[in-house]
Chain A
């Protein structure tokens, strides 16, 4: 078993699936010879050739649209959008075709596509390179949306995403790409696409988060444990569909809910989780639900990015206030 970073784990999963399924084709800008700007696809074009690991012209609408055409023909495209901030030209294809082809054709044409994209900020990048736009994707019926928080989870979820018969949007937190190494068994075993993952057990408050924020939440939970506040931390991992059952079970035990995300608050995924718990778990709650999120501003250029992304201190304060409410 090798210790790998999250980006290396993604590379392993792509390599596994390219090696085991001849229908898998990788697409994207600079993914071939350059191995992707984050090196997620490094070495794969050398191994599988320029048709199975294709550099595309610079056009995201075209990338998403060609993925639709290829998938309709039985291929399994795994397309990279270089940064999530550049997904907008592709939204037309994703929303109007990718998400609804199965439904429109009553199951005649299905689209086993994965759209991979770096997600979130905190890496000192230029503007438009630090966006957290999961809401944009989760709002469309017919798409699965996934966001791993560890190398092992990235590996298993990537395999699941490629094998899933429907389009999966795969959000890769840039802050985590090289943050930490973890033992990952390259065994081709996929993880389920509709369950969240408990990261830490606690009795006082349920904290739901995903992606890069999981690490800040765990740090806050560690601090709070010294104050005898026990956090039940859940990594949502699959952002659409949401594993509401596990969240409700946890809230039934703790009686409190805090949701932490990097994306803006307005219409963020936290609202969906809060609403569902309010609808189905209200009588379990001892305190108002709280969201700790990015502000409803444009993601600032990098000098202010850590003023935007919820800090460990802001998270800890929010959880503490919820528990002591």
Chain B
């Protein structure tokens, strides 16, 4: 099998300021499927076409932002190996027991030099997408409820030490660098896009003085048309929209950035080119960052650089 190691973004846990308002937003406007609530009050969601129990978890708190981002790995042997590899590289890891999150196995947790908490896990209950595995229909009526993305696609995180973060992902976790934006002096990377498979990115980081910041979690749409429909639903519900609908130069993805009711940015995303691990990295100079962000408007929107949670 070609895909081993880290398979995909598995879950994000995000803090919200008002739980029930946020549940209504994520369930009825974004159109995620609520799959459970645990004893600590966390609410679990998945996108309609995802098969695992949950991919997006919210928790009431007095600040917004990201608690942690979790990666699904191939199996428990892979989990143990990556844990050992991280420790050998000099990164402290911690084991979170199975069941601490609903329907989720043991997790290996560690903190990146950017201040973000990452997790690896090998087991999460498969609850299915509501479509039988034998003679499946292409979609279910869950596709029409709200914006209804098909999966948690990636996240963009802001924090310091992006060069060290890149080394951990590429040298330990098996990712490769798909695209990057250079710093103004051209000597370093201001932002990096990393893939662990053939998606244009599974995670991205941008250099930022404050550690552990969330720029956005991104949800995958099936078409550009569905991105436009997402924009209609945002406006019908007076969702705070940041940028778009437009197309990124970086990744070539089609996008809308908007904020949840607590000021956590999210993205409805479609497309992007399909890289392979042997492809050469594509580079954007800082003076072309505007085209990288918003190709038609060629505009480096101020909120992109300065508004995070």
A and B together in one complex: no
